[in-house]
Amino acid sequence: MIVRNAAGRIAAIALGVAVADGISAPRAWAQTVRVVNMIPTTLGNETNQDSEPDLTIDPNNADIIIATAFTPNPSGVLTHAPVYVSLDGGATWALNNIVPSGNGMTGDITVTCSGNNVLYAGILRGGAGLDMRILRGSPCTSGTAMIQLVGRTQEDQPYARSLTPPTGAQANNDVLFVGHNDFNNSPRTASMEQSLNAATAPAPAGLGVVRLERRAPFGQDGPPIRPAMHPDGTVYAVYTQRTASAGNVRTGNIVVVRDNDFGQGPNAYSDLVDPGDATAGLRVVTGVNWIFDLGSVFGQERLGDRASIAVDPNNSQTVYVAWVDRAGLPGNTASVHVRRSTDGGANWSADVLTVNSALSPQLAVNAAGDVACLYQQLTGAGAGQRWQTHFRQSADDGSNWSDLVLANHPANTPAMTFLPYLGDYVGLSAVGDDFYGVFSASNVPDLANFPQGVTYQRGANFTTHTLRDASNNPVAASIDPFFFTVLAPRPQIQIPGGVDFGDRCVATAPGTGVLNVCNTGQANLIVDGVASSDPVFAVSTPSGGFPVTISPDFCFPFQVKFTPTSPGPKSATLTVSSNDPDVPSVQVTASAAVGQATAVTLVADTGTFGELCPNPAKFRDLPLTINNSGSCPLTITAISSSSAEFEIAQVLGFPLSVGPGDSIAVPIRFHPTSEGAKSAKLTISSNDPAAPSKVVTVTGSAPPSYVCEPPVFASIDTAIGPTWGTGRTGKYTFNGSGHVLAPFGPGKAFGVQAQGEYMYYPGRQEGQLDSALLYRHGPLQYGVSGSFKTANLRSEASAGALSHATLSLDLFLTDVRFGIFGSKGLRETDVVTLSETIGAVTPLGQPVIATEQLVHTVDQLGGALQFELIPNAWLDANLAYLHRYAPGASDTVGGAIRLSALVFTNVALTAQFDLNESFVGPNAVGTFTFGVTLGRWSRPSDYANPINPLGTLIPRVRYERFERIR
Amino acid sequence: MTVRHLGLAVSLLLLPGLPAHGQAPDNRASAPYVFLGTVTAPPSAGTSPDAGRLVVVDEILLQRGTFENQTGRQVEVLGVPPRLQAKAQYVFYTEPVRFGQRIVVRLVDVGESTGVAAASQGANAKQQVADAFVRREIGERAALAELVISGTVSSVRQLARTATRDTEHDPDFRVALVKVERVLKGKPAGGEVEFVFAASRDVQWFQAPKFRIGDRGVLFLQRPAREATELGVSQQLLTLLHPSDYRPQAQLPVVEAALKAVGQ
């Protein structure tokens, strides 16, 4: 069955045919065959006989192919001959004039492109008989003339092949072998020109001749000496050994030699010894005969020796050899024979392929171990004779063969220009599992002549079967070279698309997608691995592991796991490596749009709870708002507080889920248990990948107790004791007083101090009420007070009422209070006794003389001091300068000093000494009293209180008495 | 008989751009492909420095060899000097080096195109270029020849050889006896001269001129090269193996003129 594509260029062929020798081919083949006429467009008018082709493929790039044929230099220049060059796998060709020549052509020419991109050629120089040249050029596609490494006459059929072993002693060397028939060594003419490293060294680049023939042939060996190399160093060669000659019939042996180490050493090619004569070189077959006739006796072709050899690239011990002989048939004819050895040439099979009336077998073994044989067969008889070019392939060691007829054209046209008509050889090479080849055939554009289809670059009309030049003029038919490929049934990878995971969320469970890898080819697709450029897209190894074999028309769903770790658009390149020969590596994209939960927290008042006094019953709540500004649900797994004084609502049940764009408010309770600055870190544990533990700091403060419970001082004092001084109004005194201080206002920095005192002396009694307004500012305390006193001097008619105002300033240090004060009378005077008398009569009348006993306030300017003597005992003292108003009285001082000792809570005993404590007489008076204080009044231990008023000294209204007459 | 085609008569008309004395420089005369062409736009940035300039072939002045007529087509010219102006016309003396979808030629020399395109001048120019090429070619072959004669083959016989090879490339040497009619170079021993030619139709020899009795023409005869002697040709014999060493009798004036021009 033949299936052509629309262009008719490529045919996919399923073969189940019976081959010519009657062996059925049970295996179905589905090769892709392409045949290309190699004459380029610009040579559409050429009519040369482009016969005897050869080719070489760049080992590193199968798109680069160099081929040769007996093609003259189209420019007419005689100094160089062309080679064919293709850069696109043989689809199109060009001619490069790079081969030195004497007539614009070459004689025999073979080429080999090495792994180091060096092109070697073995040629017979055009127009010079048996003038062998071994040439070198680089790169293989170079347009620069090749240079000569070796030149020697009396040589025939140089057949160049190279190998660049990847490993071993010759690793990366260009090992060059040129089989040649050296008449300079007749009769042992079969020889090998070889170099272990020919790439760059100056001529002769290590080339030296090794004689292959160890016997004494009849006159000479035959022209074909063909090498075949294996990368392990095994080198074979086959040649035809003449043993007799009669007329145009030659009799001889087909000999194979082998060297196990690249043909080195003095006994090169002696590793295969013929047991028959213990001589190096095993005779595969003996006593065969063939026609050696230089006339156009066989479909316009000449007849002669033909041989080919190929080694299995997988096993250097498996080797095939082919030759032609007459096979007992009458007349000028030839038969192709192919045999096989699996022990390095020691033993050979019978013919695995025999084709009568055929020439120019060329063998190759592909990477799969399939052997192929290209040959040209003359069929029919008389005017109906046709040349058929066959490509045969066996996948079972030669038991069964496919048969592709690549060309089939009349043998009598076009007319022969020279010999060989089609060539003494054709070209065939294995590239992986594929075969690339070249042959020469009639270029008549008739699809009937090309059963597999054909592509022409030059002008060709397949309807009229005529060639056309660029001006559409008919061009005579001739022999052209044809390139062909037979591509092995191959897998074809197809991946419908990448893997789209859609919208995903960070830190969620991995998503799983499917990467379908399909095989639309005709052979098993073997996927060696699927690599991801980003580990977040991980391809799961199938349960059976890699490689994964996918049958034709099947797909395999590779599991791709996506583990989102960060937000944003995500993509990775998944590289699928397979045995698809055209696209061994396919890249597809795995993608996802990854969102995430994003916790945004808000706390009222920036998380500051303000001041709150410790109190079991008091707390303050602020909402902690958690907003999810991301695109995925926010899961809150816990909210914790670093401080028990900031409490999380106990009613919350975790986890909490907050949808994208939503918010929740979590109450945070500030419940201080002690004074001082408070803070806590609230930790919100969530699935926010950016902040899985988001910390919010909240602060607050609990004022000190003197703020939360500002001290209210209240005490009652009473004392009794003797008086002293000559102006005293009694021998003893008794007094009692009450004090109260209450803070108020912002921060309790203000205070009202109120106090009252009663003083008893046997000669007088006094009562005084005071009130003061205090303001505490840091260590300072400002005070303004007013005092009202009633003094009842028993010696006077009535009591006097006085008042004064006081300004005070206190400084509180750690253990001491300093104070200054100044008092000025408000109601400065009062008449306590008035006596009137009638004076003497005067012209103006009789006056009334009033004599008044006054009490008058004494202005004061003084200081006060309080400090702790020992724990629970402190000293109060004050001293004032007293400014008097009594006529003739001098200013004096007054003061007091009191020792207080706390004996019980709120009970202190006092001892006090006073000087001019109230009534300022003509002489100093004072008291010495002992008393008790009940209650609580400020003392040095209170000075740590930096806020509240702590009481101040309000001086007694001091007064004096004097007489005034009016 | 295989001969090379020579269809142009020698003319020494001046070709614009050639030296005034009418002698084409040797390098120009070696160019097998000469054409009047127009340079296209300069290569774009990024073009490989090894790439040539594209030139449209306006008129072919000389084309040896066999390839498609490129008139009106672009060829890629290697080695174009920068001074050549885009869209300007020049005479390109070239050697084709690559034939693919497009022909690539190596520039041998370049000349101004003034007047070449005019019809009458164009014909003269073609003749001049062809004459120069032939003159050079004849001069080169004559320089290698011991004898250059014209004459008629009177007999042909097989060369008796002692050294024979069983090879496809056997030249099948024959000996032709030619009656000398005119001596253009050298001094033949007599009125008849023998020479060896290859009768083989093998690829190595099919281009070598073949002779039969009665063939007449101009013969460039050489002493045998090493390859010939190794194949059994005596040094005493003259050979005619190169395809350019025979020219039909009709080309005798051409040869004479060429030899005169080159001083032989």
Give me the residues of A, 47-66, that contact B with CB < 8 A: 47-48, 51-52
Say what percent of chain A tops pLDDT 90.
72
* Nearest Cβ partner for B65 among A44, A74, A419: A74
Q: What is the pTM of this model?
A: 0.67
Q: What is the DSSP string of A23-39?
A: -B--S-EEEEEEEEE--
Which residues on chain A are in Cβ contact (under 8 Å) with B206? 417-419
Would the CB atoms of A131 and B227 count as touching at under 8 Å? yes
pLDDT of amino acid B122: 64
Closest by CA position to A880, among listed A920, A931, A829: A920
> pLDDT higher for A226 or A949?
A226
Sorting pLDDT into bands at 50, 70 and 90, what band is A193?
Answer: very high
* Nearest Cβ partner for A220 among B65, B67, B166: B166
A74-95 average pLDDT score: 96
Would the CB atoms of B99 and A154 count as touching at under 8 Å? no
pLDDT of amino acid B163: 62
pLDDT for A305-325, tens place per residue?
A: 999 999 999 999 999 999 999
The whole-angstrom distance between residue A224's C-alpha and the CA centroid of its chain comes to 60
A435-458 average pLDDT score: 97
- Give every strand in the sheet of A386-394, ordered side by side: A358-365, A371-379, A386-394, A402-410
Would the CB atoms of A128 and B104 count as touching at under 8 Å? no
| Whether pLDDT at A92 is above 90 | yes
Average pLDDT, chain B: 85
pLDDT of amino acid A23: 29
pLDDT of amino acid A794: 85
Average pLDDT, chain A: 91
Residue that has been written with the tokens 């005084």 in this structure: A768
| Whether pLDDT at B50 is above 80 | no
pLDDT of amino acid B19: 36
Q: Measured between CA atoms, how close is B104 to chain A, in angstroms? A: 9
| Whether pLDDT at A17 is above 60 | no
pLDDT for A898-920, tens place per residue?
A: 999 999 989 999 999 999 989 88
Would the CB atoms of B101 and A42 count as touching at under 8 Å? yes
| Whether pLDDT at B154 is above 70 | yes
Which residues on chain B are in Cβ contact (under 8 Å) with A143? 97-98, 104
Closest by CA position to A782, among listed A824, A753, A739, A815: A753
The complex scores an ipTM of 0.89
Say what percent of chain A tops pLDDT 70.
97
Would the CB atoms of B202 and A44 count as touching at under 8 Å? no
A384-395 average pLDDT score: 97
pLDDT for B190-228, tens place per residue?
A: 999 999 999 999 999 999 999 999 999 999 999 999 888
Handedness of CA B91, B97, B100, B104 (dihedral sign): negative
Which residues on chain B are in Cβ contact (under 8 Å) with A304? 168
* Nearest Cβ partner for A143 among B68, B98, B169: B98
Sorting pLDDT into bands at 50, 70 and 90, what band is B42?
Answer: confident
Residue B259 DSSP class: H
| Whether pLDDT at B4 is above 50 | no
* Nearest Cβ partner for B204 among A107, A153, A296: A107
pLDDT of amino acid A630: 87
Q: Which residues contact A268 (CB under 8 A, 6 or more apart)?
A: A210, A259
| Whether pLDDT at A681 is above 70 | yes
Per mean pLDDT, which of A4-8, A570-574, B131-135 is the most reliable?
A570-574
pLDDT for A650-669, tens place per residue?
A: 766 888 889 999 998 888 89
A335-352 average pLDDT score: 98
Would the CB atoms of B203 and A44 count as touching at under 8 Å? no
CB-based contact, A40 to chain B, within 8 Å: yes
Taking CA atoms, what residue in B is nearest to A38? B100
Structure tokens given for B36: 């009047």
Would the CB atoms of A42 and B67 count as touching at under 8 Å? yes
pLDDT for A391-417, tens place per residue?
A: 999 999 999 999 999 999 999 999 999
pLDDT for A567-622, tens place per residue?
A: 889 999 999 999 888 899 999 999 999 888 888 888 877 888 888 888 888 898 88
A362-366 average pLDDT score: 98
pLDDT of amino acid B116: 61
Give me the residues of A, 278-297, that contact B with CB < 8 A: 292, 294, 296
Specify the range with the lowest mean pLDDT, choosing from A30-39, A47-56, A422-431, A462-471.
A30-39
Which residues on chain A are in Cβ contact (under 8 Å) with B244? 78
Question: What is the C-alpha to C-alpha distance for residues A222 and A67, in angstroms, rounded to an integer?
Answer: 24
B239-257 average pLDDT score: 94
A460-465 average pLDDT score: 96
Residue A247 DSSP class: T
Sorting pLDDT into bands at 50, 70 and 90, what band is B88?
Answer: very high
A561-565 average pLDDT score: 89
* Nearest Cβ partner for A292 among B64, B166, B230: B166
Q: Strand A693-702 and strand A608-611: pairing?
A: parallel
Question: What is the C-alpha to C-alpha distance for residues A868 and A815, in angstroms, rounded to an integer?
Answer: 6
Sorting pLDDT into bands at 50, 70 and 90, what band is A49?
Answer: very high
Give the CA count within 13 Å in the CB-facing half-sphere of A651: 5
Residue that has been written with the tokens 């055209």 in this structure: A582
* Nearest Cβ partner for B227 among A128, A296, A424: A128
Summary count for chain A: helices (H), strands (E): 1, 70
pLDDT of amino acid B25: 52
* Nearest Cβ partner for A75 among B32, B205, B208: B32
pLDDT of amino acid A811: 94
Specify the range with the lowest mean pLDDT, choosing from A63-72, A608-617, A777-786.
A608-617
| Whether pLDDT at A20 is above 60 | no
> pLDDT higher for A289 or B51?
A289
Would the CB atoms of A40 and B101 count as touching at under 8 Å? yes
A353-391 burial, b at 16+ Cβ within 10 Å, e below that, comes to: bebbbbbbbbbbbbeebbbbbbbbbbbeeeeebbbbbbb
Give me the residues of A, 531-570, that contact B with CB < 8 A: none
- Give every strand in the sheet of A663-670, ordered side by side: A599-603, A620-628, A663-670, A646-648
Would the CB atoms of B32 and A77 count as touching at under 8 Å? yes
Would the CB atoms of B100 and A47 count as touching at under 8 Å? no
Taking CA atoms, what residue in B is nearest to A293? B168
Would the CB atoms of A130 and B66 count as touching at under 8 Å? no
Q: Measured between CA atoms, how close is A332 to chain B, in angstroms? A: 16
* Nearest Cβ partner for B32 among A76, A223, A417: A76
Q: Strand B74-78 and strand B89-99: pairing?
A: unpaired
Which residues on chain B are in Cβ contact (under 8 Å) with A480? none
Q: Measured between CA atoms, how close is B38 to chain A, in angstroms? A: 20
Would the CB atoms of B65 and A220 count as touching at under 8 Å? no
Would the CB atoms of A470 and B231 count as touching at under 8 Å? no
Structure tokens given for B112: 């101004």
pLDDT of amino acid A864: 94
Taking CA atoms, what residue in A is nearest to B167? A223
Taking CA atoms, what residue in A is nearest to B2? A417
pLDDT for A785-797, tens place per residue?
A: 999 999 998 888 8
- SS3 of residue B123 by DSSP: helix
| Whether pLDDT at B21 is above 70 | no
Q: Count contacts between A and B (CB, < 8 Å).
A: 165
pLDDT for A826-848, tens place per residue?
A: 999 999 998 888 877 877 778 88
pLDDT for A416-437, tens place per residue?
A: 999 999 999 999 999 999 999 9
| Whether pLDDT at A54 is above 80 | yes
Give me the residues of A, 374-433, that contact B with CB < 8 A: 416-420, 424
